């Protein structure tokens, strides 16, 4: 085939040997059915997003934005309606003033809990940065400092919910339950929306008025349902991950019950002001267009993850999720078994990037970590992890976590480049 030869030459110009290219072609062909399934989910989610935009009557005027107080910001208010339509919730708060995912989660917690209340995580330890928000690690301004206590029930050995312990952990003080959908950078399985629904039903049966919040980071648009479709009162996430579609330059979202969103709005701005203020400046076009692109961008990230899992599994490395498992977030872990492997992988991701491809990532002493960490990202939006990116702590078992890929061709190039680096260093025979 003419195109095949042309393609091989184009990969060769980017440093991919014919052998690695052929391996990639074979792998991609084997994944045809799987990729079609991913595309079907993307198709459904694309329709969901378009319908949500039409229903909210998004107009050209919505793209303009405001300055100053931001009163009557029709674009901001309409975007929030679009999010509420997508998540099938009463209301949403979607703002550039929410600086990141941690901020969005902290906002949801601090605004919906009061002194004397208790927070429960029935799915084990939450994401690292939440430890300081909650006060698991003592921190200035934490929930603990405001007299909000915390309880945690770990998952069972096999990843199942520990229903007995959850039942006994729920008490008269329990006000809010936080459920993290993605495994984040842990080895527990990611929760499917169905499993989240089962957990919420169980909790609501014990205590109907408890608020169930889901940390939805990395999960949006991976399935056709969201946690708010199975009983979550509040879903929270970052716009520089899935729902920003790679275009959102900043922001976070909360979607849920009207009262929960109002609480959050009064906390984000001020009591008495709430959602009425908060200029959107010039970012609305990217938030709208990014959301529009998000379903297919997430599909690209998923294909990249599935491709890598299968390629590396065949080369003898252990991968989580494995090559055939169903996906509930976009994160892929690959255990490379050596520090050289982690470095080679990250250098491959960096070398394939559109931005900063000439930079060589090296392990460094990152604050808050007990070992050196290496990171690779050549992103248009700083720190964006819907763009192809990877990081790994330089310690046993030498696992690297990677995610993203705004387009499947870029994801494929990135993975093949990591593989080439591994081959060049003799880490794959
Ligand atoms: C990324 C992430 C967060 C925090 O988001 P930041 O934008 O990095 O602050 C919280 N929870 C999960 C599961 C995440 O993946």
pLDDT in tens, 141-177: 999 999 999 999 999 999 999 999 999 999 999 999 9
**Of 103, 133, 215, 384, best ligand 1 pocket probe by most atoms within 8 Å of the beta carbon:** 215
In sequence order, the β-bridge partners of residue 187 are: none
CA of 102 to the centre of ligand 1 (A): 6
Asked if 390 and 332 count as a contact pair (C-beta separation under 8 A), the reply is no
Asked if 417 and 388 count as a contact pair (C-beta separation under 8 A), the reply is no
pTM across the whole model: 0.97
**Of 95, 102, 375, best ligand 1 pocket probe by most atoms within 8 Å of the beta carbon:** 102
Residue nearest atom 7 in ligand 1 by C-alpha distance: 101
Residue nearest atom 3 in ligand 1 by C-alpha distance: 101
CA of 417 to the centre of ligand 1 (A): 27
CA of 25 to the centre of ligand 1 (A): 33
Of the options 1.10.4160.10, 3.30.1280.10, 3.40.640.10, 3.40.50.10490, the CATH number for the domain spanning 65-282 = 3.40.640.10
pLDDT in tens, the chain (429 residues): 668 999 999 999 999 999 999 999 999 999 999 999 999 999 999 999 999 999 999 999 999 999 999 999 999 999 999 999 999 999 999 999 999 999 999 999 999 999 999 999 999 999 989 999 999 999 999 999 999 999 999 999 999 999 999 999 999 999 999 999 998 878 788 999 999 999 999 999 999 999 999 999 999 999 999 999 999 999 999 999 999 999 999 999 999 999 999 999 999 999 999 999 999 999 999 999 999 999 999 999 999 999 999 999 999 999 999 999 999 999 999 999 999 999 999 999 999 999 999 999 999 988 767 789 999 989 999 999 999 999 999 999 999 999 999 999 999 999 999 999 999 999 998
The ligand 1 atom nearest the CA atom of 127? 11
Domain ranges of the chain: 4-44+292-424, 65-282
**Of 129, 213, 220, best ligand 1 pocket probe by most atoms within 8 Å of the beta carbon:** 129
β-strand 118-121 against 174-180: which pairing, if any?
Answer: parallel
**Of 127, 181, 183, 332, best ligand 1 pocket probe by most atoms within 8 Å of the beta carbon:** 127
- Residues 6 or more apart whose CB falls under 8 angstroms from that of 316 comprise none
- Ligand 1: residues with CB < 6 A are 100-102, 105, 127, 129, 180, 182, 184, 215, 217-218, 238
What is the spatial distance between Cα 126 and Cα 397, in angstroms, rounded to a whole number?
21
The ligand 1 atom nearest the CA atom of 103? 9
272: region left, alpha or beta (phi > 0 left; psi from -120 to 50 alpha): left
CA of 334 to the centre of ligand 1 (A): 20
The ligand 1 atom nearest the CA atom of 331? 15
Q: Write out the E strands in 209-331.
A: 211-215, 234-238, 252-256, 318-320
What is the spatial distance between Cα 383 and Cα 362, in angstroms, rounded to a whole number?
17
What is the spatial distance between Cα 221 and Cα 46, in angstroms, rounded to a whole number?
9
- Residues 6 or more apart whose CB falls under 8 angstroms from that of 419 comprise 20, 23, 24, 311, 312, 315, 348, 428
- Residues 6 or more apart whose CB falls under 8 angstroms from that of 426 comprise none
Residue nearest atom 5 in ligand 1 by C-alpha distance: 101
Secondary structure tally for the chain: helices H, strands E: 12, 12
**Helix-helix angle 18-30:2-13, to 10 degrees:** 120
Of the options 1.10.645.10, 3.40.50.720, 1.10.3720.10, 3.90.1150.60, the CATH number for the domain spanning 4-44+292-424 = 3.90.1150.60
The ligand 1 atom nearest the CA atom of 102? 9
């Amino acid at each position: 085939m003419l195109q095949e030869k042309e393609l091989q030459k184009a990969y060769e110009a980017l440093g991919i040997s014919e052998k690695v290219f052929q391996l990639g072609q074979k792998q991609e062909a084997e994944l045809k059915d799987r990729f079609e399934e991913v595309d079907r989910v993307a198709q459904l989610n694309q329709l969901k997003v378009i319908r949500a935009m039409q229903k909210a009557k998004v107009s050209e005027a919505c793209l303009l934005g405001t300055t100053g107080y931001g009163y009557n910001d029709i674009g901001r208010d309409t975007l929030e309606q679009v999010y509420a339509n997508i998540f099938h919730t009463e209301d949403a708060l979607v703002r550039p003033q929410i600086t990141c995912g941690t901020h969005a989660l902290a906002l949801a917690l601090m605004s919906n809990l009061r002194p004397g209340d208790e927070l429960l995580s029935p799915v084990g330890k939450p994401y690292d940065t939440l430890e300081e928000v909650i006060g698991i690690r003592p921190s200035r301004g934490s929930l603990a400092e405001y007299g909000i206590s915390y309880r945690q029930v770990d998952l069972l050995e096999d990843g199942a919910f520990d229903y007995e312990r959850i039942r006994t952990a729920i008490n008269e003080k329990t006000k809010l339950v936080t459920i993290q959908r993605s495994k984040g950078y842990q080895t527990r399985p990611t929760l499917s929306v169905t499993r989240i629904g089962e957990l919420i039903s169980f909790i609501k049966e014990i205590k109907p008025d408890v608020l169930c919040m889901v940390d939805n980071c990395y999960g949006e648009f991976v399935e056709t349902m969201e946690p708010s479709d199975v009983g979550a009162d509040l879903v929270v996430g970052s716009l520089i991950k899935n729902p920003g579609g790679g275009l959102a330059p900043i922001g976070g979202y909360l979607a849920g019950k009207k009262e929960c969103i109002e609480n959050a709005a009064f906390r984000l701005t001020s009591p008495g002001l709430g959602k009425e203020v908060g200029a959107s400046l010039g970012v609305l076009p990217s938030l709208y267009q990014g959301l529009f692109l998000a379903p297919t961008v997430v599909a690209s990230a998923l294909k990249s993850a599935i491709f890598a899992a299968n390629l590396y599994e065949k080369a003898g490395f252990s991968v989580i999720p494995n090559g055939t498992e169903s996906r509930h977030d976009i994160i892929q872990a690959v255990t490379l078994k050596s520090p050289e492997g982690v470095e080679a992988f990250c250098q491959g991701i960096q070398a394939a990037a559109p931005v900063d491809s000439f930079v060589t990532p090296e392990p460094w002493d990152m604050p808050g970590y007990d070992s050196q960490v290496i990171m690779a990202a050549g992103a248009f939006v700083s720190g964006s992890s819907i763009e192809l990116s990877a990081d790994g702590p330089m310690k046993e078992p030498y696992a690297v976590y990677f995610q993203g890929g705004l387009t499947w061709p870029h994801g494929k190039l990135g993975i093949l480049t990591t593989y080439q680096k591994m081959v060049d260093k003799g880490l794959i025979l």
